[in-house]
A and B are shown apart, each in its own frame.
Chain A
């Protein structure tokens, strides 16, 4: 691997599917009217000018590492999928112009560091969030060799194993290698056609065989090598153990890990706080008792763990969501989708923590200053990873070189 590729930092993205209400979490409005302010109170943090929700007490102790962006916004539709596409690709694309996930871009341009895929999504892909199949978690035109590797299994399960890494009982490693040789011969015939799809398949097969035969790769997925104390610190739940696995995978050489906090918004406790009394009945109770504590524990464990292992400076951690939630409570006491304003945050890498970028008005309805659109966040992630967006191109549709993203990083973050 050449030196410039080796210098590129890693990234862990935590994606909060459903979207937390910004006024209830990281952009509180304690002086707003009752129907805006909501139920929770702000608490002080270790950065004197910054307050956050009382249900993030552990995060409040490490705000000096975190840069909040409180003026995120976009003006296209208020669906989860719109927000997912914006925040995972930097584009609001149509089905005939699908854009690649940020991890696939990193995979395509910088490649894997070892046998592990460059981009991995934990614990599984986003499924039904209400408005179609385009969630922005594919390689799109970058080819199947750069599709994210989906874990597809729950690391908090007692019988956890990665399905794709467990060959059938009667398939020994020599037998797998023999099949690789045979496939190689078939590929040589196919390659005569010299088509791009054949090359893509080559890359996919090579990756699959590497995953199956590398003991280092399998070990990276095995949480049993971690102490019980550390596993407890992350929280013994799907999200917490996924965050722990993210650290293991970065340590083992993967470049870009995405942790989806939930794969749907229907019929389960998640951030999508409509309080509709039916299939979208998340309320303050879910935030208070489950979601905020679960996030607070896992996120702070991840930052501490990365820091203690000397990995935080080498790893940008981005906490992203699709949009905000309505500043005014709905008649049922919930909040609905709201892209005109919300808060996400970054830390690690060369991100300068302990600061707030942008602000919203008195009720959190719109950016008051420094409005930031999603592509700038992705540009900042790339920049935080050490990628020079002026000189590094990726192959676009048809193979012509294009910029990673049509936006500039937020300079104050660095």
Chain B
């Protein structure tokens, strides 16, 4: 029997300076929760967001930064030859925030 996951998870995030803070996740599926940090459109970090509700990306390289909260969505455990999931994936569950450095 596959696990069932109830509802649609959601959270809100807000930015204060460069520190991002999330609300509790409603309908939290309990899977891996992470911040996705992009600089100039490229993913540069995906730190765990489960333990602390706030995060400040330590890098100060100049660029346009964007952060969103992601939760792992389990569909099934199928993987390709490289060991990556074929259907299960991270999905965005929050609004996005952005800031500029430099």
Give the CA-CA distance A298 to B24 in the complex, in Å: 15
Residues of A within 8 A of B1 (CB): 123-124, 127, 154, 238, 262-264, 268
B42 at the A/B interface (Cβ < 8 Å)?
no
B28 contacts A58, C-beta separation under 8 Å: no
Asked if A236 meets B79 with Cβ closer than 8 Å, knowing A264-B1, A269-B74, A290-B72, the reply is no
Closest residue on chain A to residue B81 by CB atoms: A277
Can you list, as one digit per residue, whether each of B1-17 has a CB less than 8 Å from chain A (1) or not (0)?
Answer: 11111110100000000
Give the CA-CA distance A50 to B49 in the complex, in Å: 23
Residues of B within 8 A of A296 (CB): 50
Give the CA-CA distance A116 to B72 in the complex, in Å: 37
A-B contact number at CB 8 A: 103
B5 contacts A293, C-beta separation under 8 Å: no
- Residue count of chain B within 8 Å CB distance of chain A: 31
B50 contacts A236, C-beta separation under 8 Å: no
Residues of A within 8 A of B99 (CB): none
B3 contacts A237, C-beta separation under 8 Å: yes
Asked if A283 meets B6 with Cβ closer than 8 Å, knowing A235-B28, A289-B32, the reply is no
A237 contacts B30, C-beta separation under 8 Å: yes
B5 CB, nearest partner CB in chain A, Å: 5
A286 at the A/B interface (Cβ < 8 Å)?
yes
Closest residue on chain A to residue B24 by CB atoms: A232
Q: Which of B3, B27, B33, B84 contacts A239, CB < 8 Å?
A: B3
B30 contacts A298, C-beta separation under 8 Å: yes
Most buried by A among B3, B5, B74, B77: B3
B25 at the A/B interface (Cβ < 8 Å)?
yes
Residues of B within 8 A of A285 (CB): 79, 83-85
- Residue count of chain A within 8 Å CB distance of chain B: 42
B39 CB, nearest partner CB in chain A, Å: 24
Asked if A57 meets B51 with Cβ closer than 8 Å, knowing A237-B3, A237-B5, A237-B6, the reply is yes
B→A interface (CB under 8 Å): 1-7, 9, 24-33, 48, 50-51, 72, 74, 76-79, 83-85, 88
Q: List 26 A-B contacts (CB under 8 A).
A: A58-B51, A123-B1, A124-B1, A156-B4, A229-B24, A232-B25, A232-B28, A235-B30, A236-B9, A236-B27, A236-B30, A238-B3, A238-B4, A239-B30, A240-B30, A263-B1, A268-B2, A268-B77, A269-B3, A269-B77, A282-B77, A285-B79, A285-B83, A285-B85, A290-B88, A297-B28
* 6 new A-B contacts at CB < 8 Å, known A123-B1, A235-B29, A237-B4: A156-B5, A293-B31, A293-B50, A294-B3, A297-B28, A333-B83
